[in-house]
Amino acid sequence: MEYSKLVETYSRLGETQSTLEKTSILAELFEDSEKNIEDIVLLAMGRPFPEWKDLDLGISSKTMVEIISQATGKSKGDVEDAWRDKGDLGIVAEEMVETKTQQRLMSQDLTVEKVLQRLEKVAKMSEKSLDSVDMDTKKKHVADLISSASPEEARYITRTVLQNLRLGVGEGIVRDALSEAFFDGEYADDIQRAYDLSTDFSKVAKACTEGIEEVRRIEIQVFRPIKSMLAKKVDTIDEGFETVGKPAVIDYKYDGMRAQIHVKDGEVKVFTRRLEDVTKQFPDIVRAAKNNLEACNCIIDTEVVAYDPEDGSSIPFQKLSKRIKRKYDIQKLEKQIPVELRPFDIIYSEESLLDKKYTERWSKLEEIVEEVEGELRLVDRTVTDKEEKVTSMQQKALSEGHEGIMMKKQDAKYKPGSRVGYMVKLKPVMETLDLAIIGGEWGEGRRKGWIGSLRLGCYSPEKDEYLEVGKMATGLTDEQLEELTERLEPLIVREEGREIKIRPDVIVEAEYEEIQKSPNYSSGYALRFPRLKQFREDKNEADNVEKVRSLYDSQ
Ligand code: AMP
């Protein structure tokens, strides 16, 4: 397929905000591209490769600036200036290609296949350790693409490389568009199920072209991650029992990393909750699974908990997260931050267990697990219908430094990808903090002209200044962002690129998951996942750093 045809669809998608319209535009594209539907469906979401394929282009915005400069003959400084001005490298690439002095390199038009082949080459290079020569070749591959692209094509190639298509096409729209294109709008649930089990829209779309029976035949496959079942949040034990029924399973909620561990004929793969393959980063998980799971083919759902190698006490997720992205010094890190697997569910054991009750799945898990401290142990749990017992379990969990507890429905199936309430989390509610907005960032793309990503500060009486405690990526509606920008704009005291410093006159009440120590913020603390609860119009001073410290200590 001509790449320009795909670009035409991209630009139509960009012109509408309506989900229904986006769905029909995509449905039209899918109908016309039955032959290479596997690629088209991914590209529609801005993904050059399926999620489960461990392929990463490894090109940052900074590198992309160099590539645009190389492909268009413009200076790096010019590209950077334009980026600052437009806030979107896609638009910059488009404009630079439009006004470039050099001729288009190839006279042939770009095809979807050509673009994908190039990008795959680049991603495969990223797998090897990169020296500067490799990096130059990588840049050249992408620059060649931009050189042979029309201005509009350059916009979308750039955005695809940066994995940010900015067209608002998510899973739901793709699912509905497939249903509209191939089944007159029916069977959206079957399509969703097939996607949750395979996490591979290429495969699902191909099946759609062959009929609904093919879609229904899609099943779990060991070594392909499936969507994890998610937990609902409850505020009280009562509410927990109401949701999951009595008696319920009560587990400790550990502060670790969720991992889906796949075993196939003695080989192991590890996937994160975001379906990333992290097998290489965690040779210790692989070993523990090999040594302590007695099954030829299985998939288990596990919390991976880090512990202090000296005294065995558990270490918070924040530290463990270092290991997720790390591609070098793996053995060193493995010693510094060792982990223990705490399985809590099983999804597959020689056959799919999705439709089995949780009690049956748990028995299966007990059957195949051999517990060894420091390597793999089932989660600590109890089964009860008594509130007092849950309370004491909760207190024990918190006093041992865990996050809280989970309550689970005994006769529930495993529902991938949904927050159905078959398991709920009960975490202690954190006291909120009143903080000043001390800075922010001008938005990019659709949010250009609005201030987003707010920096929050608490007050230090000693220094008589505000110290940063975190960044809030707002989660606000467009109207709220607009209002916020109107209020903050007159308070700007300094601007540097997109970064702005704001006079601390607006106070907000912030909720958050927890407080962590952080050398990156001037207060020495960082709020994890801060959210805006409300504006404190009634206040003109923020909480001071002492309060943050004492909340941190009381966690
Ligand atoms: P949250 O991340 O706050 O939505 O809480 C759900 C997460 O808690 C899961 O995705 C797991 O990573 C984690 N977790 C910790 N302990 C357990 C457990 N015993 N059962 C299920 N999930 C757990």
Tell me the per-residue pLDDT of 517-536, one tens digit each, with 9 for 90 and over.
999 899 999 998 888 877 77
Return the number of other C-beta atoms located less than 10 Å from residue 230's C-beta: 17
Fold of 433-554: OB fold (Dihydrolipoamide Acetyltransferase, E2P) (2.40.50)
Q: Is the pLDDT reported for residue 104 higher than 90?
A: no
* Residue 231, ligand 1, Cβ within 6 A: yes
Rounded mean pLDDT, 436-448: 87
When pLDDT is cut at 50, 70 and 90, the band that residue 430 belongs to is: confident
Residue of 341, 344, 380 best suited for mutating to test ligand 1, as the one with most atoms within 8 Å of CB:
344
CA angle 490–492–498, rounded 5-degree value:
125
CB 300 within 8 A of CB 347: yes
Give the closest residue (by CA) to ligand 1 atom 23.
Answer: 253
- DSSP-assigned letters across all residues of 277-311: B-TTT-HHHHHHHHHHB--SEEEEEEEEEEE-TTT
Rounded mean pLDDT, 417-442: 88
Give the closest residue (by CA) to ligand 1 atom 2.
Answer: 231
What is the Cβ-side half-sphere exposure of residue 479, based on CA atoms within 13 angstroms? 0
* Residue 406, ligand 1, Cβ within 6 A: yes
pLDDT digits (tens, 9 = 90+) for 159-173: 999 888 888 888 999
Which of helix, strand or coil describes residue 60?
A: coil
Quote the CA–CA distance of 351 and 189 in Å, as a whole number.
22
Give the closest residue (by CA) to ligand 1 atom 17.
Answer: 253
Å from CA of 423 to ligand 1 middle: 9
Q: Which atom of ligand 1 is nearest to the CA of 258?
A: 12
Q: Does the active-site annotation cover 335?
A: no
Quote the CA–CA distance of 365 and 16 in Å, as a whole number.
49
Domain extents in the chain = 47-161, 232-426, 433-554
Fold of 232-426: D-amino Acid Aminotransferase; Chain A, domain 1 (3.30.470)
Q: Which pLDDT does position 128 carry in this prediction?
A: 60
pLDDT digits (tens, 9 = 90+) for 205-249: 999 999 999 999 999 999 999 999 999 989 899 999 999 999 999
The CA R_g of the chain, rounded to the nearest whole Å, is 26
pLDDT digits (tens, 9 = 90+) for 123-157: 988 666 556 668 899 999 999 999 999 999 999 99
Percent of the chain past pLDDT 90, that is, above it, reads 63
What is the Cβ-side half-sphere exposure of residue 291, based on CA atoms within 13 angstroms? 15
When pLDDT is cut at 50, 70 and 90, the band that residue 295 belongs to is: confident
Give the closest residue (by CA) to ligand 1 atom 20.
Answer: 344
Å from CA of 425 to ligand 1 middle: 7
Quote the CA–CA distance of 510 and 524 in Å, as a whole number.
18
Please confirm whether the linkage preceding 247 is cis (ω < 30° from 0): yes
Residue of 406, 408, 513 best suited for mutating to test ligand 1, as the one with most atoms within 8 Å of CB:
406
Q: 3.40.50.2030, 1.10.3260.10, 3.30.565.10, 3.10.129.10: which CATH number matches 47-161?
A: 1.10.3260.10
Give the closest residue (by CA) to ligand 1 atom 4.
Answer: 231
Q: Is the pLDDT reported for residue 105 higher than 60?
A: no
Quote the CA–CA distance of 209 and 306 in Å, as a whole number.
45
Least confident piece of the model among 100-114, 129-143, 188-202: 100-114
Å from CA of 253 to ligand 1 middle: 6
Give the closest residue (by CA) to ligand 1 atom 9.
Answer: 258
| Residue reference for tokens 């969703």 | 192
Provide the token pair at 423.
């398991």
Å from CA of 286 to ligand 1 middle: 21
Residue type, 190: D
pLDDT digits (tens, 9 = 90+) for 20-35: 999 999 999 999 998 8
Annotated active-site residue in 22, 100, 203, 253: 253
Quote the CA–CA distance of 20 and 27 in Å, as a whole number.
10
